[in-house]
Amino acid sequence: MDTSLLFTRRDAVAIISINDAPYNRMTLDFINRLEELVTEIAEDDTLRAVVLTGEGLDNFSVGMNLKQLPEGIERAGGPDALFDQRLRVIAAIENMGKPWVVTMFGYCLGGGLEVPLGCHFRLAAAEGAQIGLPEMDLGTVPAWGGSARLSKCVGRDQALDMILRGKKISGPEALRIGLVQEVWPLEELKDRAIKLAEELAAQPALAVRGVMEVVVGSEDRPLEELLQAERAAVHKTFGTPDQMEGMTAFLEKRKPVFNQPK
């Protein structure tokens, strides 16, 4: 039985935990299982948000298990195929239409930052986090989309400063430059991530998907195309049970209850 990651669910929230404490390395088995789970979650309409974390409280992930690199290249049939799988998984997370919340604590290095960069909400520990892309120290560059996504997230100057200098930044510094949205004490971090995912899962699923289709990747698309995508999302949600519930709840001055069983 594959134990490279743990998968549980709490109502409409899926919880995925890298199971290789204390370092939580992203092994070959882990990435294969994650790809399977991403597909399963995308197809399961009862799951509406995801939390990605790591076992223990030492490290989210130190990234790929480099000892497995030669084996991974051999299995995949070449380095490009190996890296393409990682890019494919991260892109599937990013474009799923369901929000992913990731906890960043301890070492979040290499793939341990690149996978979170494909997630939509990044929460960091207030103490102890070391977040970075240290590939320069290995004589190479990020291979899972890290340099591209980091620059889009925090801007060219901050990305160059982190990557070219091999910097590892703290949770508060990550918040300052816009790499994460929230910072919490380490002992509260995972609970806060689950609470945020539950909040997101309670939103009207079709509307959430519509907004994500407009916003995710919006920096690469012209305004007119985004406006058309937004209008398409309006049409998809108008007249749905969730839209009518939202309007009724507003008029009745109560909190709406979305995603009711059909």
The one catalytic residue in 74, 94, 114, 219 is 114
User: Is the domain of 73 the same as that of 189?
Assistant: yes
In a domain, 261, yes or no: no
User: Is the domain of 126 the same as that of 83?
Assistant: yes
Q: Which domain holds residue 136?
A: 5-201
Residues 190-205, mean pLDDT to the nearest whole number: 98
Cβ neighbours, 10 Å, residue 252: 9
Picking from 161, 178, 201, the residue at the C-terminal end of a domain is 201
User: Is the domain of 196 the same as that of 210?
Assistant: no
Q: Report pLDDT for 262.
A: 66
The one catalytic residue in 127, 135, 182, 187 is 135
Q: What is the pLDDT of residues 209-246, one digit of tens each?
A: 999 999 998 988 999 999 999 999 999 999 999 999 89
Q: What is the pLDDT of residues 47-99, one digit of tens each?
A: 999 999 999 999 999 999 999 999 999 999 999 999 999 999 999 999 999 99
* Euclidean distance between CA atoms 17 and 10, whole angstroms: 13
The crossing angle, in degrees rounded to 10, of helices 146-154 and 156-164 is 140
Q: Which has more confidence, 12 or 1?
A: 12
In a domain, 164, yes or no: yes
Q: Report pLDDT for 232.
A: 94
Cβ neighbours, 10 Å, residue 152: 15
User: Is the domain of 244 the same as that of 172?
Assistant: no
Phi/psi for 224 (5° steps) reads -60, -40
Q: Report pLDDT for 261.
A: 78
Structural domain tally of the chain? 2
In a domain, 93, yes or no: yes
User: Is the domain of 243 the same as that of 194?
Assistant: no
Residue 135 annotated to the active site: yes
Residues 191-196, mean pLDDT to the nearest whole number: 98
User: Is the domain of 218 the same as that of 247?
Assistant: yes
pTM of the model: 0.95
Residue 114 annotated to the active site: yes
Two structure tokens written together for 115: 């996978």
CATH of the domain at 229: 1.10.12
In a domain, 256, yes or no: no
Residue 37, judged by CB atoms within 10 A of its CB (0-12, 13-18, 19+), counts as middle
Q: Report pLDDT for 2.
A: 76
Task: Please tell me what DSSP assigns to residue 203.
Answer: S
Q: What is the pLDDT of residues 142-168, one digit of tens each?
A: 999 999 999 999 999 999 999 999 999
User: Is the domain of 151 the same as that of 224?
Assistant: no
* Euclidean distance between CA atoms 203 and 9, whole angstroms: 17
User: Is the domain of 184 the same as that of 66?
Assistant: yes
CA 61 → CA 55, 150, 157, 206, distances in Å? 9, 17, 25, 32
Query: What is the share, in percent, of the chain residues with pLDDT greater than 90?
Result: 95
pLDDT, mean over the chain: 95
Q: What is the pLDDT of residues 111-151, one digit of tens each?
A: 999 999 999 999 999 999 999 999 999 999 999 999 999 99
User: Is the domain of 184 the same as that of 85?
Assistant: yes
In a domain, 258, yes or no: no
User: Is the domain of 115 the same as that of 229?
Assistant: no
User: Is the domain of 29 the same as that of 157?
Assistant: yes
In this predicted structure, the answer to whether residue 169 has a pLDDT above a threshold of 70 is yes
